[in-house]
Amino acid sequence: MNFSNLAGQQELRLVLGRALVENKISHAILFTGPSGSGKKSWGKILARSILCSNRSESGPCMECISCRSFLNGNHPDYFYLEPGGRKIKIEQLRAIRDSFYLSGGRKVCLIDQAERMTAEASSSLLKILEDPPADMHFILLAEQPRLLFDTILSRCQRYKLNPLSCAQITELLMSNKGTTAGKAALLGRISGGLPGYAYRLADDERFEERYEEAKAAAWNLASGCDSTKKLLSLAASMSDREDLVEFLELVCLIYRDWLVQSLGRGKEVPQHTIQPFAHQAGKSPFPFGLEEAIMIINTVINEMMTTNVNRRLLLEKTLILLQRRLSQCPGLSESASGRLERHTTSSLP
């Protein structure tokens, strides 16, 4: 695999390819981006390229002894660090530090989740970066670079990985995972442009089941038919879900599709998510309610991911608020109620 096998990031591809050919790769490079953005893939290919004896603008040749050793996982001049538990400890760096100074050509150390280095490990790495060994290169990967020492950041050439387009994610899933066009397009929209996240969803055997559950939940809340007691029961069962964030993201996506339809732009979204009230397009006064529902769910997701909130209490408040807001939108609640009368929907597990 070389740079041509990675989707998107055209500017980054050109910059790294030119630096490789001109032998101007920085001794310290930092790739940043959210989880699933492809940092590790780019970092490994760059590491393999630096060590390759026949590298080109496309990256490693994949045929030389160095490339074969790298692929086999036993390259003597490639070092990899990742958190041993919650942190990257100084003992992990000390175990390989002496090898950095051995003679014998280029060496590369890839540090995954670099922001999780302890202060001692960060200080040790900083000393090395201040006076790096000859032909030694460090590649740092970080989701939250602000947690790194400023003095480490100042010594790194920084590259941010941008989200891919929905079309690029769709193509990746179809070509690399054999995903059907419809499912690939849906996952491309859900993934937020993160290929790693899209691949994980494609491998999730419960995805289709979760998607149907999310549609049922979205309609139930919009109908306004559930009692407070039932909503509290749903909140209790939902709070135990390991996939709660992914589930809420699906509900949010469904409301987003309905909002797009209500604005007369239904061609942009899959018809099976909006068909039950397609006849309402352009007539219903419910866009504001859907906008508010989307904002509420996104706020809840962010709170769960960034704080140690009591998920059950948060969900109880959220479900009651969502049903209240959505049931106040006549066009949406009437359409949802009609659908629920015609079709039996199962409760959330």
Residue 202 contacts residue 172 (beta carbons within 8 Å): no
* Highest-pLDDT range among 258-267, 305-314, 332-341: 305-314
Does 110 fall in a domain?
A: yes
Residue 335 contacts residue 224 (beta carbons within 8 Å): no
Per-residue pLDDT reduced to its tens digit, 203-242? 988 888 899 899 888 888 888 888 899 999 999 999 999 9
Residue 195 contacts residue 170 (beta carbons within 8 Å): no
Q: Structurally, how many domains does the chain consist of? A: 2
Is the pLDDT at 158 greater than 80? The verdict is yes
The one-character DSSP state at 56 is B
- Any residues with CB less than 8 A from the CB of 62 and at least 6 apart, and which? 1, 2, 71
Residue 255 sits in which domain range? 204-342
Is the pLDDT at 268 greater than 90? The verdict is no
- The mean of the pLDDT values for the chain is 85
Same domain, 148 and 211: no
| Single-letter amino acid, residue 253 | L
313 is written with which tokens?
Answer: 């209490």
Residue 66 contacts residue 75 (beta carbons within 8 Å): yes
Same domain, 230 and 325: yes
Is the pLDDT at 272 greater than 60? The verdict is no
Confidence of residue 39 (pLDDT cuts 50, 70, 90): very high
Does 269 fall in a domain?
A: yes
Q: What was the pLDDT predicted at 224?
A: 81
- Residue 110: enclosing H or E segment and its boundaries? strand 107-111
Residue 113 contacts residue 141 (beta carbons within 8 Å): yes
Same domain, 14 and 116: yes
Percent of the chain predicted with pLDDT > 70: 87
Does 168 fall in a domain?
A: no
- The Cα 1–Cα 48 span in angstroms is 10
Per-residue pLDDT reduced to its tens digit, 287-297? 778 888 999 99
**Residue where a domain stops, chosen among 160, 182, 213:** 160
Is the pLDDT at 331 greater than 80? The verdict is no
CA distance between the termini of the chain: 42
- Helix pair 228-239, 311-327: axis angle to 10 deg: 140
CATH at residue 81:
3.40.50.300
Q: What length is written for the chain?
A: 349
Per-residue pLDDT reduced to its tens digit, 171-192? 999 988 899 988 898 898 888 8
Is the pLDDT at 337 greater than 70? The verdict is no
Same domain, 303 and 211: yes
283 is written with which tokens?
Answer: 């007539």
- The Cα 200–Cα 186 span in angstroms is 13
Q: Quick one: average pLDDT of 31-56?
A: 92
Buried b (16+ CB within 10 A) or exposed e, 30-68: bbbbeebbbbbbbbbbbbbbbbbeebebbbbbeeeebbe
- The Cα 173–Cα 7 span in angstroms is 11
Q: What was the pLDDT predicted at 341?
A: 45
Same domain, 67 and 136: yes
| Single-letter amino acid, residue 56 | S
Same domain, 118 and 244: no
Residue 82 contacts residue 52 (beta carbons within 8 Å): no
Confidence of residue 67 (pLDDT cuts 50, 70, 90): very high
Same domain, 218 and 141: no
Same domain, 20 and 133: yes
CATH at residue 250:
1.20.272.10
**Residue where a domain stops, chosen among 125, 160, 195:** 160
Same domain, 128 and 15: yes
Confidence of residue 106 (pLDDT cuts 50, 70, 90): very high
Least confident range of 26-30, 102-106, 303-307: 102-106
- The Cα 34–Cα 46 span in angstroms is 19
Same domain, 13 and 143: yes
Does 248 fall in a domain?
A: yes
The one-character DSSP state at 177 is I
Same domain, 66 and 141: yes
Same domain, 9 and 130: yes
